[in-house]
Structure 1
Amino acid sequence: MSESSQASDPYALLGIVRNPDGTITFDRTKFPRVPPTPDAVVSKDFRVNYSKSTYMRLYVPTTALNGGVSSMKLPLVVYFHGGGFVNDSYDHEPVHHFCNLMALKLNVVVASASYRQAPQFKLPAAYDDGLYALKWIKNSPDKGWIKSYADLSDVFLMGTNSGGNVAYNVGIRFTEEDLTPLCIRGLILLDPFFGGEERCESELRHVNDQVFPPALTDLCWKLCLPDGADRDHEYSNPRMGEGPEIMQEMAGFRWKVMVTGEGGGAMIDRQRDVANLMKENGVYVIEHFTNGDGHSGDPNKTETMFASIKSLIYSSPPVGFVF
């Protein structure tokens, strides 16, 4: 299939095939899977929920395992992968590489959690699984790495694309639970996936984007939102429903929040809007928006992003914010 025909077919961009009976088939070769690996960072898998077949891959820098410079307990980053709620997995090669690099560069323990995906499991299934992953971290008897190396009083929820949306919504649900000793210190939303019925300017500018055009985001929302819901559902559009009130409550928890976005991406205006909405409602937000190609994979941009995230994790609370 040519590049131009792929761009006009959002199913092809997702690596899925639409079947006559309404189901979809995944092209598993599009996203190769990799096992946990020993390296400067070690990783291993755990089954989190047997009935829902959800998993978690834990990453720990070897300096922590060896009693080196990181022998003290490290911040815990709970990470949710992207894929528009429809594709990708915690054990796909790019996700594994990113989490491995994150644990090394940030000197943190990473818990990369899977979640059920659409269209078989519509929202809020992914949010429920994300919250269950936090409960597993709190309660699971088989968590030697977490007990030994992770500081449960210093936890950040992070996600990319749809995973950023999951991190945000899991954070909301966390505030309604008592998961002591877990203490969330902040949210790190990397190019988070939000939407709305009315096209924003960046969507109009990038209507023919070759990687993640508006037609593809529309398809993802169609597949993942509850039956009968449109893109102005509060899962998609935080300005709707109780979104502003929820952000005011979030401000009361004194979280540090980072929102990132790429100027060459169709969703940049939505990401800026969410950051602005949070700030309007008293949330402490650090914005990391860049210009240019939203899909370049420039290693220099990755290094800059990791430096910003590390600063957020290890910085003192802002003036007036007392944890």
Structure 2
Amino acid sequence: MSGQPITDPFEYLQVVVNPDGTLTRNFDRFSSVEPTPNDPQNQTPVLSKDVPINPSNNTWARIFLPREALDRSSPPNSKKLPLIVYFHGGGFILLSANMVIFHNYCCDLANTLPAVVVSFDYRLAPEHRLPAAYEDGVEALHWIKTSEEEWLREYADFSNCFLMGSSAGGNIAYHVGLRAAGEVQELEPLKIKGLVLHQPFFGGNQRSASELRLMNDPVLPPIVSDVMWDLALPSGVDRDHEYSNPTVGGGSEEVEKVKVVGWRVLVNGCDGDPLVDRQMGLAELMEGKGVQVVRNFRVGGFHGEEDFDRSKAHAMHMVLKHFIASFNVN
């Protein structure tokens, strides 16, 4: 990570804002990959398939299933695998669930835990500004609870579900979680146990200490985050909007719903990320509302490191594995 400070965030992101408010993206910037079906000639440890969620909104999901699950014959519920609903990153404006970086990440996640992972592809801003992605996420949960998809019905433990996201996906997991906490009965038999917020993407009008310290960060400097928020937030609001800055005004009363339903929240980050103070502030907010929070912050690193370093991703997944296992300790 070296070179000159980023001065043109649009050039860095390889996007152009069009006069009609849409975004021209460089789709060749990151490689995509097809799902991996159950092929006897390919003994990959994790299988995957794509399924539509809402064709009218072009939302869909890639489901990941550890191959070892197929060796079980009609497993009882206690032998089913935890269900992870995953939201990818990209600043709300970029990327897709079929990108190689997210495909590999979810494969490793499904294999390490092991778990059934549903990686959800939501609508992007600015064509679909927030809260569109949150609404898509809630819709995905309702789709899961009624789905006849074999991999979900046969191998996923609906009573052991976690919402997880990285970067902007962590923000989505948080806001989808707030909404889901208010409709737990409507989501049955899907029972969410907790949220996993991995380097969640939050902001605010006033720079945090970590943003000032890492103003020239080569990965996600504040000027890049600013552009993402400008393109993602509802028109006419600033970065102190609740979608971006949940700590404004003492925090959302909706956080108390997370306490009421008894969910735990894992917040993962590192001090090499300009957003780390935002992430710690969110953890403090939730703790102040009585939510059980597990903090996992480490020294060094950078924003999105686990997307590109599979050894770092594995270490984070081991933390998550321990977090999930802790729910089964009496």
**TM-score for the superposition, normalised by structure 2:** 0.90
| Structure 1 portions without partners, runs of 5+ | none
How far is 1:22 from its partner?
A: 4.5
SS of equivalent to 2:211: helix
For residues 244 and 112 of structure 1, the distance between their equivalents in structure 2, rounded to whole angstroms, comes to: 27
**Partner in structure 1 of residue 178 of structure 2:** 172
CA distance in 2, matches of 1:299, 1:53: 30
Give the secondary structure class of the aligned counterpart of 1:56: strand
SS of equivalent residue, structure 1 residue 170: helix
1:198 aligns with 2:206: yes
In the aligned structure 2, how far is the partner of 1:299 from the partner of 1:46?
26
Matched, 1:181 2:180: no
Alignment of 1:203-282 (within 5 A): 203-240=211-248, 243-282=251-290
> How many pairs are equivalent?
315
- 1:146 maps to what in 2? 152
Report the CA distance between 1:4 and its aligned residue.
Answer: 2.9
- 1:61 counterpart residue number: 66
Amino acid at match of 1:139: T
> Which of the residues 272, 295, 300 maps onto 1:292?
300
Residue 88 (structure 1) shift: 1.1
Query: 2:125, 2:232 within 8 Å by CA — same for their partners in 1?
Result: yes
SS of equivalent to 1:91: coil
Counterpart of 1:28 in structure 2: which amino acid? F
The alignment's C-alpha RMSD in Å is 2.0
Distance 2:325 2:35 in 1: 27
Q: Name the CA distance, whole Å, in 1 between partners of 2:52 and 2:31.
A: 20
Give the aligned partner of residue 17 of structure 1: 16
- For structure 2, the residue ranges without an aligned partner over 5 or more in a row are 38-43
Residue range with higher mean Cα deviation, 199-208 or 172-181: 172-181
Q: Work out which of the residue numbers 40, 43, 48 in structure 1 matches 2:48.
A: 43
Deviation at 1:144, TM superposition (A): 1.0
SS at match of 1:222: helix
SS of corresponding position for 1:101: helix
Question: In 1, distance between residues paired with 2:328 and 2:202?
Answer: 27
Contact persistence 1:244–1:277 (CA under 8 A): no
Assess, with a 3 A threshold, how the Cα gap between structure 1 residues 22 and 131 changes in structure 2: closer, same or farther.
Answer: closer
8 Å contact 1:233–1:241 — kept in the other structure? no
CA distance in 1, matches of 2:21, 2:121: 24
Is the Cα contact below 8 Å between 1:256 and 1:312 reproduced in 2? Answer: no
**Separation (CA, whole Å) in 1 of partners of 2:175 and 2:121:** 15
Query: Could you say which residue in structure 1 is the equivalent of 2:90?
Result: 83
Identical pairs, percent: 46
Q: Is the 8 A contact 2:85 2:163 kept in 1?
A: yes
TM-score using structure 1 length? 0.92
Distance apart, 1:18 and its partner CA: 3.2
Pairing 1:297-316 to 2, within 5 Å after superposition: 297=306, 298-316=309-327
| Inter-CA distance 241–227: structure 2 relative to 1 (3 Å threshold) | farther
SS of match in other structure, 1:307:
helix
Q: Which amino acid aligns with 1:256?
A: R
- Deviation for aligned residue 1:261: 1.1
Q: Residue 156 in 1 paired to residue 162 in 2?
A: yes
